[in-house]
Chain A
Amino acid sequence: MKLCFVTVGATASFQKLLEQILSSQFLETLAKRHYTHLLIQYGKDGQQVFQNFIDSDQPHHGLTLGGFDFKPSIDAQMMMTVEREALNQERGLIICHAGSGTILAGLRLGVPLIVVPNPDLADNHQQELADELEAGQYVISSSVKDVGSAISRAETQKAEVLSMRTGNTTLAESMSDELSFLD
């Protein structure tokens, strides 16, 4: 299984991204890159767009599609994009809005991430975060219409963020200092 997981955020709707994801052109790109599954968290107001697509006779390009509006935790869904041989799972892809929680969870998994900021939501500090992460080459930032071409760039990214997970002892040291532990 090679999964592309798309999440548009729980509170706001992001119809434009949803329509782009379900376009024949995007699905074809996914199929070409050997994706087998597409799972979409379509948020509020997204159900209709998703259902219309399923009911129509538009081509799926061999992809298995799934969707849901909201779950209290999407950790399990994100985990399905991590490479795990035992489960016959290949390294997948996460496409998300600029929500910091989702980006952080994705970075922690070391999965390729495409961040698509929602132009209808004017949240400056989330945009700033997305820009900074793009500049640091941790994620690929993309507009709605370019999301298809961002896939190849995202896949070639190394999972080097995970290598940062060693040896930041600042918090432990700070706590030890404040508690005035004897060395």
Chain B
Amino acid sequence: MPFSLASSFWDLLLWCFVLAITLGASILLVLLVSLTISQNTIPSKCRPRGSPTHLMIVLGSGGHTAEMLYMLERMKFAPQLYTYRTYLVSSGDNFSADKAKAFEAQLVQNSQDHTHNTYTIVTVPRARRVHQSYLTAPFSTLQCFWACLSILCGLHPGQKLPKEYSSFYPDLILTNGPATAVCVVAGAKLIRFFLCLANITTLCLGLRTTSTSASTPKLRTIYIESWARVSSLSASGVLLLPLVDRFLVQWPAQAGRRAWWGMKRTQYAGWLVI
């Protein structure tokens, strides 16, 4: 019976279609809701000042790196608070690596105690090289994302975090917008999602009675939009708006933006780079 065969084929196709739409929509909904919950969750104050604190600073091409170091210098960066620093640079970017080294040398010079060797510089492959084709860019971005994940988990061969740090995950990630930053922040969010899932699972199974990961927040993220952006967000800024925990802007016209209803708004900070 060719007619009923055809009909069942179309039925099957229709059901597959409905299933795919439903699945896609629910994944999107879970994603939106979890991003909204995540961005609105404020950790309670629990970390004593001076306790081992691991800060990750994402450096980018010339302009981004210069602005980041201006800001660190300007805020009177206190190495006794951010006791260990990991600088993330793109491969081949010697300028940024040198700037980070010079900044650390300055920190040692300014401080009386011997707080040397409390940083590393790690290198990731570029998300997209200048003039790289958009066809191959997704692959190099994936490669960059993978490298960022392994660095966030402390699996990169160059990393040597001292023993007193309870976990390899950085406590705070500071970035101002190279393409790599999007990979790092997305990676941090992904790890936090799985940590949260694992936490909920163990709680539900009754393996633990109190949640320990809630005690010290990990992988928190701050994004600072470039000083050069007066009225429109950069591409990285648009992508990171729903992902970061705090979004600072340096011009009044950029204040109050948010990714969607219920999300955190950008915060006007004044000029941070001068």
Q: Indicate if the CB atoms of B228 and A179 lie closer than 8 Å.
A: no
Which of A104, A164, A175, A176 makes the CB contact (< 8 A) with B70? A104
Q: Indicate if the CB atoms of B269 and A170 lie closer than 8 Å.
A: yes
Say yes or no: A178-B270 contact (C-beta < 8 A), given A132-B251, A168-B74.
no
> Which residues of the other chain, A, contact B55 by a CB distance below 8 angstroms?
175
Q: Indicate if the CB atoms of A175 and B222 lie closer than 8 Å.
A: yes
Chain B interface secondary structure, helix, strand, loop or mixed? loop
Q: Is B174 an interface residue (CB 8 A)?
A: yes
Say yes or no: A125-B230 contact (C-beta < 8 A), given A170-B269, A180-B46.
yes
Q: Indicate if the CB atoms of A168 and B270 lie closer than 8 Å.
A: yes
Q: How far is the CA of A23 from the CA of B240 in the complex (A)?
A: 48
Say yes or no: A182-B45 contact (C-beta < 8 A), given A104-B67, A104-B70, A174-B248.
yes
Q: How far is the CA of A177 from the CA of B161 in the complex (A)?
A: 23
Q: How far is the CA of A108 from the CA of B172 in the complex (A)?
A: 28
Say which size band chain A's interface belongs to: 20 to 34
Q: Report B205-236 residues with CB < 8 Å from chain A CB.
A: 216-217, 220-222, 224, 226-232
- Distance in Å from the Cβ of A31 to the closest Cβ of chain B? 32
> Which residues of the other chain, A, contact B53 by a CB distance below 8 angstroms?
179
- Distance in Å from the Cβ of B42 to the closest Cβ of chain A? 8
Q: Indicate if the CB atoms of A104 and B171 lie closer than 8 Å.
A: no
Q: Is A13 an interface residue (CB 8 A)?
A: no
> Which residues of the other chain, B, contact A72 by a CB distance below 8 angstroms?
95
Q: How far is the CA of A174 from the CA of B224 in the complex (A)?
A: 11
